[in-house]
Amino acid sequence: MEKVALITGITGQDGAYLAELLLEKGYEVHGIKRRSSLFNTDRIDHLYKDLHEKNVKFFLHYGDLTDSTNLIRIIQQVQPDEIYNLAAQSHVQVSFDTPEYTANADALGTLRILEAIRILKLEKKTKFYQASTSELYGLVQETPQKETTPFYPRSPYAVAKLYGYWITVNYREAYGIYACNGILFNHESPLRGETFVTRKITRAVARIKLGLQEKLYLGNLSAKRDWGYAKDYVEAMWLMLQQDKPEDFVVATGETHKVREFVTLAFKEVGINIKWQGTGIDEKGIDEATGKTIIEVDPRYFRPTEVELLLGDATKAQQKLGWEPKTNLAELCAMMVKEDLTSAKRDLLCEQHGFETHQYNE
C-alpha cells in the first residue's frame, strides 16, 4: 500500500524539498497552502499536475494553522500515515513584531494538529513530525548543543516553538502518538526565503557583481550559525518517522561560522575579495579591488535579544538514523550564489532591454 503524507508549510523551503523526496519514494503527498493575494506556490509548481491527469499523487488544500476546523477536515479527508508540521511564522526577527500571531501559528498550531489526530482517533495510524529548532537553545548553556542540552529561548518565535516541542512530547507520552521533534539547526538552499541572512547575502552578491545593487546592509555580523543544506535535512525528517519508536533528534553539521565569514565566502564566489574595517555599527566590508564600501551595518537588523552561537552535535541522528550531512558550507554557498547569479542575469537582461525590474530588499 502506498503511504499518504500531509505536509503543512508545503510552499516553504523545507516543504518543497520534502514533497519532492516523498514523491520520489512513491508517497501520495498532500499539502496545506494558505490563500494569498499573489501566487505562493513557486517552490512546488514543478510538482503540480493537472488534477484531470491520471495517477495524480500531489494534492494541495487551502488551510491555515490558526483554523482548527479546517485542519480537522483536511486530516479527516486525507487520513495521512504521516504528518509533517513544517508550517510556521518562521522569521525570528519578525516574531518580535508579531509575537501573538507567531504564538498562535507556531505554538497553538502544533496543538491543533495533535488534537485533530486525537479527535479523529488516528493515534495509532498517523505519525507526526514537529519542526523544532536550534533556536530553542538560545542563550548558550552548553556547546555543542545536543538533545539533552537545556533550552533558553530568546525570541517570541523560539518561545512559541518551545511550546510546540513540549506539546509534541506530551502527546507522545499521554496518548501514545508516534510523534517526534526534529531539532534542526539552520539549513539553507537556493529556495531559502530572501530575508534570511544567507539568501539575503547570496542575492546581494549576485546583484552587486552585475551592477544591479550598490550595497548590502546587514545586522549582527558576529553571530555564529551551524548552517547545513535543506535538501540533506528533509531526509532526516523522513528517517525520524521510519523508526521502531518515536524519539527527538538534533540535526546539524557540527561546524559553526560567523555571518561575516559567510559574506566573505559568498563574495569570493564571484571573484570579489572583501577587506573588513572598523567594529560594531561602524564595521564595513570593502571591495579590495575597487576600494568601494559594499557592506555596511544597519542596526535595524539587530534583534532585541540575539542568539550568538549555535553549534549542533548530531551524533544521535548519525547512530540511530544513519543520517549525516552530505554538503559542506562552501558547496552550499557556491550553489546559492550560482542560482542567484542566474536570476540576477535575467533581471539585467530585462533592464538592458528597457524593462524595469524591482527588487524588494529587507
Catalytic positions are 133, 135, 157
Residue 165 near which of ligand NDP, ligand GDR, none (CB within 5-8 Å, type-dependent) = none
Whole-angstrom distance, CA of residue 137 vs CA of residue 129: 19
Residue 11 near which of ligand GDR, ligand NDP, none (CB within 5-8 Å, type-dependent) = ligand NDP
Fill in the DSSP letter of residue 151: P
Residue 79, sorted as left (phi over 0), alpha (psi -120 to 50) or beta, turns out to be: left
Among positions 11, 102, 134, 256, the unique one binding ligand GDR when judged by CB under 6 A: 134
Q: Measured from the CB of residue 175, what is the shortest distance to ligand GDR in angstroms?
A: 26
Q: Could you tell me whether strands 58-62 and 249-251 are parallel, antiparallel, or unpaired per DSSP bridges?
A: unpaired
Given the complex with ligand GDR, which of 18 and 218 has the nearer CB atom? Answer: 218
Q: Could you tell me whether strands 127-133 and 228-229 are parallel, antiparallel, or unpaired per DSSP bridges?
A: unpaired
What residues form DSSP beta bridges with 61?
Answer: 32
Whole-angstrom distance, CA of residue 91 vs CA of residue 103: 12
- Each residue 53-82 as x (binds ligand NDP by CB under 6 A) or -, in order, gives -----------xxx----------------
- Is the CA virtual torsion 40, 5, 89, 259 positive or negative? negative
CB 256 within 8 A of CB 224: yes
Fill in the DSSP letter of residue 295: E
333 binds ligand GDR (CB under 6 A): no
Among positions 33, 112, 209, 225, the unique one binding ligand GDR when judged by CB under 6 A: 225
Residue 303 near which of ligand NDP, ligand GDR, none (CB within 5-8 Å, type-dependent) = ligand GDR
- How many other C-beta atoms are found inside a 10 Å radius of the C-beta of residue 183? 28
Site residues (vs ligand GDR, CB under 6 A): 90, 92-93, 133-135, 185-186, 195-197, 200, 218-220, 223, 225, 259, 301, 303, 306-307
Tell me which residues touch ligand NDP (CB under 6 A). 8-9, 11-15, 32, 34, 36, 40, 64-66, 86-90, 105, 131, 133, 184, 186-187, 193
